[in-house]
Structure 1
Amino acid sequence: MTDTQRPAIELLIAAPRGFCAGVDRAIQIVELAIQKHGAPVYVRHEIVHNKFVVDLAAGEGRDLRRGTGPSARRRAGRVLRAWRAQVGARGGEDRGLDYLDATCPLVSKVHRQAERLVASGRHILFVGHAGHPEVIGTFGQVPAGQMTLIETVEDVAKLNPADPDNLAFLTQTTLSVDDTRAIVDATIARFPTIVAPKADDICYATSNRQNAVKAIAQSCDMVLVIGAPNSSNSVRLVEVAEREGTSAKLIQRATDLDFAWLAGVGTLGITAGASAPEILVRELVDRIATRFDVTEREVEMTRETIAFKLPRGLEAA
């Protein structure tokens, strides 16, 4: 097929998209750790929810061996303190091991809030998705029984806390902004004295990427979201696009694209979850260009300038 015979397609590429500051920091920690200490560097869990990034890191000398299933995830959160004690809480005195915490600072902030609220005697209602590593990790910061998970507005109606006037709520950082607002509103309506966090727990990157998808979705015949199925923020982007009335699909790589999806599509939206690198966006655009006469336009809603500090000992590296 010649270029003149190719159907035209306009690509609306959402911005912000892709890597957030927390993911950038986590990957940088692994890279600098191997520069400073040499291979192998062991990562307790997937450094980010993206197979391309994990495989690339492993190929460059990082040993990303990790367990699978509930027990491994539980160790990533619930047994974090015990694991630190095993390797040595102050630099590995017991086994000669060093460890670096690559948890996003915004997630760590939620952990500290949970600890303070429980220490003050409050029971926490935690808005999140059961089984997500962030939820498991947050529950692992406090004694068992001190937090209750709520996933839906219907869950709020079923709650029967022992002390309804001594509650607080926190949320997972990668939720749908709209869904979470509905759950929080229902929670406050039922428990007017509940203590809210000082600032929204949903991270800036999640909110920004959802707003960017909203900005393009109604102008698109379809939206493709690049991200992993176990990436909460990526799955939420698909849901956001669909709620705007647009067909949307989650893909991990350009090779996952079925060209049959694009039949009759004149305008295609593209975005990427916070764990997906920009190279995967360009890979997708290039694949589409093998069948279509492509024009692309970036739709930028806001510019992100946030950066997080590295752990002590890595700044010099």
Structure 2
Amino acid sequence: MIKKKICRLILVAVLILAQLPVSAVTANATQSAAAKYSRAYLLTGNKASDIATVALVQKEKKKADLGYTEAWCADFVCDCAYLAGASDVIPTNGSVSGLYQKLLAANGTQVFLPQQGDIVFYYCIVTNKWVHCGIMLNSLQSVEGNYSGKVSLVKGVYRDSHGHSLASGEVIRIFIRPAYNKSKTTPPKTISNNPAVVVPVVPDTTNNTDQKSDTDKKDDTDNKNTTTDNKSDDTKKTDTKSTDTSKKTTTKKLYKKYAGTYKVNTKESPLTMRAKPDKTSDILTSIPKGTKVKVTKATGKKKTDWAYVTYKSFKGYMSMEFLKKVK
């Protein structure tokens, strides 16, 4: 059943793509708000990872926070690409369909099993319109600007203002992988106040509700009749190293004397919760600045120590460097 569904979606995508005129797109106005983006991140030089990192750090920011005056999902992708140093392989374009065509022209390729750094496009097969786009965080989650009016972490849920949705099959997703290996541009200077910010490699365990995206209410919907993949060997090597490091780190003893209520004390960005006490470990969720969390034990109270934290339905490790005890 699953294989049949996948095959059907692939066939629909291929049929749509085959009908798209490459030169039929007129670029909409593009706005850049990169100057107002949080720079609280560390870049690795792996641009597929870096664009997702930049996007994740902007989570919860709204249109007014960033200064956009138009529907801004495509602008968000382009600004994240600029800050990650990938603007040559993700050319700037404020139109969803325009961005799609620019990506293909810059040697981007369509894939059917998405991974971190891929660009996801939403296409409504009822209205024959491109309606939205975002950045894949991993194979299941994406970070999307102008989703419910803000930068949101999304897990395969989308519904436009007319009720067309992914769940109904009236909206499909098309994944394009930018040619990051051919990128020559460099990112602008960044600052970091949260070295714990690294991109998740596993999906969040929480589920999205079927929220209605604000994107298609205005400019994000184009009125034009247009329409791996496993990890690389390098990624697998990185994951193996991360696992080995995590195993060594977990030998540190945890002490209950550090238990109590703590507050996330970052300067600006959310703080990540990890599966293991190691900054290369998988991320479970990110917790906003100022949020109170319960620490049950910790390896110590130095900047290099880790706390075992309970937050909502999550349990994991957070850096003591960015936790301040309140009682």
For the superposition of Structure 1 and Structure 2, which TM-score range results when normalised by the shorter chain? under 0.3
- Greater length-normalized contact order (CA 8 Å, ≥ 6 residues apart): 1
**Structure number with higher helix proportion:** 1
TM-score, normalization by structure 1:
0.26
TM-score, normalization by structure 2:
0.25
Q: Which has the larger radius of gyration?
A: 1
